[in-house]
Amino acid sequence: MGESNLYKTALKKAMSLCAIREICVSDIRQKLSAWGVDEKDITKIINHLTNEKFIDDKRYALAFVKDKFRYNKWGKIKIASALKMKNIADETIREALDSIDDDVYLNALKSIISNHKRTVKSKNLYDLKGKLLRHGMSKGFESHLIYDLLNEDE
């Protein structure tokens, strides 16, 4: 029994997508489902793509962490949350987040806080610290790091 035309077309399109950029298993599963591929064929396509190294969640997580930290200035909490929504394993997320150098991470946080400090208006020091803390946390940085940084300025 031959493979269906839809299967072959979906496999070619998926291979093409994976060749263009890093993509994770859950993203490709969503695409295939949206294209109308049945679940049995989706599993076969994903296995094929994984075996041929077109998709690799570890490689995807490393690239995702690098890009979101470098270009979007996201903290580890926000990055981890985004990767969890893509069904990446906790251990893989942890390994990818460990690839961020601690000194570079702290310097990025300092830069974000100092840049925001120049533009924020506040009534007093307490109000300023609250606004800076909320901004840092909205970027996904750990609250204890922000507290330490803000208390360091005193």
Residue 109 pLDDT exceeds 50: yes
Rounded-to-integer distance, Cα 88 and Cα 91, Å = 9
Query: Where in the chain are the domains?
Result: 5-55, 58-97, 102-152
For domain 5-55, the CATH architecture is Orthogonal Bundle (1.10)
Which of the four pLDDT bands, split at 50, 70 and 90, describes residue 153? low
| 80-98: pLDDT as tens digits | 999 999 999 999 999 999 9
What six digits make up the tokens of 49?
Answer: 């793509």
pTM, rounded to two decimals: 0.90
**Which of 26, 5, 23 minimizes the C-alpha distance to 15?**
23
Residue 1 pLDDT exceeds 80: no
**Which of 40, 41, 39 minimizes the C-alpha distance to 6?**
41
Q: What is the distance, to the nearest Å, from the Cα of residue 51 to the centroid of all Cα atoms in its chain? A: 23
Tell me the average pLDDT of the chain.
Answer: 93
Residues 62 and 99 sit within 8 Å (Cβ to Cβ): yes
